[in-house]
Amino acid sequence: MHARYVALAVAVLLAGATATAGALSGGRVPLRVSSSSLTQSGQEVVWRVQLAHSFSPTGLQRDRRSLCLLLERAGNGSIFGQLCIRAPARRERAPRLAYMPITSAGPGPALAIPATITRASDAQLTATFLPTSISLAYKPIRWQVISTLSPPACVPPLPDRVGCYTLVPARPTLARLHTPQLVGCVPSGPSLLYNGPNVHEVALTFDDGPWNDPPTSQFLDVLEREHAVATFFEIGDQISTYDPGGAQERRMLADGDMIGDHSWTHPDVAALPPAQQTQQLISTATAIKQQTRGFMPCLWRPPYGDISPSLIGLARSLGFLTIMWNDDPRDWALPGVNAIYTTAVSTARNGSIIIQHFGGGPRYETLAALPGEIATFRREGYELVTVDQMLGLRLIYK
């Protein structure tokens, strides 16, 4: 849609106009919107629109129509962008969602954004997208759906201005977007895993923290600087000592890292009676939940890699997948930075789960090897993912 239409749309919203504008010709009217909603589901924003009749996204441009979501700031009501339904790309079947930023200088270019678009019927459409795809922060915004029909299908309200439009709802509605809080993950698939699927990705994992030699924060500094993620398996009894306020664990989750359970005191859990096995897992998971203010892990790693069928089954009954590894640089033995780096990168394959340590002893060698590992994996085309991402587990947000 051109700048003149956007300018009028802005004026319409600021004036609070609610009726259809323009005199219609030939009985043609803008697509009639029955209802719409804008809600949040976890990390994603969901836009649902229901029309009073069937419509085709492919035919919108051909028929000189548009169906868009106008977005405005909750504080001053100024419009900052619009999302419009577009026809599928060539050789694709699903419609697209295009975003146009709007500033005081006018509208910017409209670009397709990553979105999942589904249709329950020919009169309905649901678009799901991440706010980051349109540089939108998690904070309240106001919205309206605008349906337009351009000349010559209708007579503009003023000469040389836009055509006809309807706004639904009648006044901009508040959507209370909030920063999503990760509270859990759903275990699925095999109960015991040594590696992920045959996909060109690897998962960096670190055991035995939190710790102070070096502090856990230094591992997070590297990951943040390199824009990489990892999975941290924690010993419950150490959390109150080395991360008493939970700041580092909350930082992990905010960075997109994952936290797993590594028992309460790092014993040979497989050798314990079932009641003590349960205590080792649940006590640690509870400590993680308390320190993160809500996150309950669904991954656990047995100390020393010692397992038994009964322990694997017990862990699954408690809501945990047992995560082993297939790439071990033996950093716990302090073999030197180059040895850790060389083993980690030379052993990696598609779906590798790499075990290293961020606690249980001086881990400066592991920390020093980490930037080189990340650089090499990326140079070789591997994507760095967390274990839950590698396994395709569903995360739970509130």
For residues 226 and 200, is the Cβ–Cβ distance under 8 A?
Answer: no
One-letter amino acid of 235: I
Confidence (pLDDT) at 384: 98
The one catalytic residue in 207, 261, 331, 388 is 207
What is the reported pTM?
0.82
The class level of CATH for 182-397 reads alpha beta
Confidence (pLDDT) at 6: 46
Residue 296 CB-density burial (10 A; 0-12 exposed, 13-18 middle, 19+ buried): middle
| Chain region(s) in the chain for CATH 3.20.20.370 | 182-397
The one catalytic residue in 243, 261, 357, 388 is 357
Confidence (pLDDT) at 158: 61
Confidence (pLDDT) at 156: 61
Q: Are strands 201-209 and 352-357 parallel, antiparallel or unpaired?
A: parallel
Divide the 398 residues of the chain into consecutive groups of 10 and give the mean pLDDT of each group.
42 36 56 97 96 95 93 94 95 93 92 96 97 95 95 66 82 96 97 98 98 98 98 98 97 97 98 98 98 98 98 98 98 98 98 98 98 98 98 96
The SS3 of residue 328 is coil
Confidence (pLDDT) at 155: 67
One-letter amino acid of 92: E
Closest C-alpha among 50, 116, 60, 121 to residue 85: 60
Confidence (pLDDT) at 223: 98
Residue 352 CB-density burial (10 A; 0-12 exposed, 13-18 middle, 19+ buried): buried
Closest C-alpha among 267, 289, 286, 287 to residue 277: 267
Query: CA torsion angle for 282, 284, 290, 296 (degrees, to 10)?
Result: -60
**φ, ψ dihedrals at 24, nearest 5°:** -90, 150
227 is annotated as an active-site residue: no
d(CA 236, CA 292): 13
306 is annotated as an active-site residue: no
Confidence (pLDDT) at 9: 46
What does the DSSP 8-state code read for residue 358? S
Confidence (pLDDT) at 12: 39
CA 179 to chain centre: 11
